[in-house]
Structure 1
């Protein structure tokens, strides 16, 4: 017996025939989306809108920075004491290597306040930049799960380092007083100096955050860059003392005097140390510091914003 397969039943004559969906040109789709208030998911907003979005996330930025600071040493027995101990131990090592063995203290009056101030202020810059290299790559889960201005992350990490510096300044003040540097009106200059440095640090951290988001090897290279930069910034020796005389080429003099890390360190030393007077400062030091802060702060922010839609993808 040969089996027969029943043919599919024909649709009733009065049933509607399905019609294919209409085909729209790309321009028509864009107009349709605009008419219904639809936007591209993850698209980069305009710069003014981006700034307003960041301002709307200001509480998140502050809470994120505080949480990171609290958790940073949560596994250590001494806890938050390491925020002060780390720069102090670095200063102690530098004192014996550079101050005692290499005898750089012979050309520097009040060498211990000079050295400790340099170490604390340099640590603020180096830690901000190091944190910036992990701003995106270290928070990929957050970046991919939530929609928010990505600049919130490097800004929050820079704020975390500023909060940590505030703890460290208590130890710095105690050391300065212990070595005869008592509070005076010039100490108020530390406020604008730290503000300019914080703006500079935030801008640079946003630059390295974008670079490291695309090339993770930047995070491995950055310690070597920062170590070289530290040695050229007069943290352990006097830039002004080395530049005296004609033995240094003019181009090197200009590079060292305009080095932003050295500029911010010198401004803090000028504010806090009696013997570090205006004669130790490079010319137009406040103008140079303001220029670095504005160029890096604004430029770094715009540079980071230009890649907003690419973070967390790929």
Structure 2
């Protein structure tokens, strides 16, 4: 079927192998194999970043990567790797489409990836950027991708698609296979979302593969690109008993992906800035050791050094986004009480 064209055998050529603390289907040492061999090898961690990790996780059916680690930095192990100097832009559907040094045997530190636990069941294909394309979906128990028929497909449906993919809303619906015809099953027809759903699969529709369409009627969308956020919309408190307390979570200016702040170096001056940016005049306490529960996603900030007078946490000194040596299990997530 056509789905074999969309996901050739690429997904069978990559795996996550349990290693060190990384036990679970969504985390482990990244291993790959050539198309003509069943001998597995690692991927060099040098130059490996979140964009490469995102591609790995999408190949394995997850929406994105939460984190990645260099095995050498964690435990000092060496290993043989097939791929080195990976440079993905993050939008590729396969790691093997990214730029890299070429297949070979490289002696280097291998990389560990932690994928988000939410499985990816929706994607946009054929657009000129990641925010647009033909809408493709797949069943919960299958990696075979298919399309959505444009019958009754409107902006309410498109808004739900875009929000699932991390965009605020849709700007356009493009019907009649505007982004090219798909090649797998036509899974959904007569979608009737009210626009408030968190998942397309919660909307009313005819039923899986119940349709009277052809691929000339594949639906497409254009999602609104994220331009920037005000600082106050980039920080939140989660897990507290009220809105004035909780685990501190932040996000970059160009992303909807939330992450946490490590408690190393975090003190009342940092907490004052957190509370002020959220509109609270005072801080009543700092809570260490994941007091409000462990977060998920990246650990974005460590060693914050605010002087307490800043109007934004993002004006304070710190190591740099995602630069940390904190517990990857989020046991060191910091919280505040405002």
Say which structure, 1 or 2, has more relative contact order (CA 8 Å, 6+ apart).
Answer: 1
Q: Taking structure 2 as the reference length, what is the TM-score of the superposition?
A: 0.23
Identify the structure with the greater helix proportion: 1
**Rg comparison, structure with higher value:** 1
Q: Taking structure 1 as the reference length, what is the TM-score of the superposition?
A: 0.24
Identify the structure with the greater strand proportion: 2
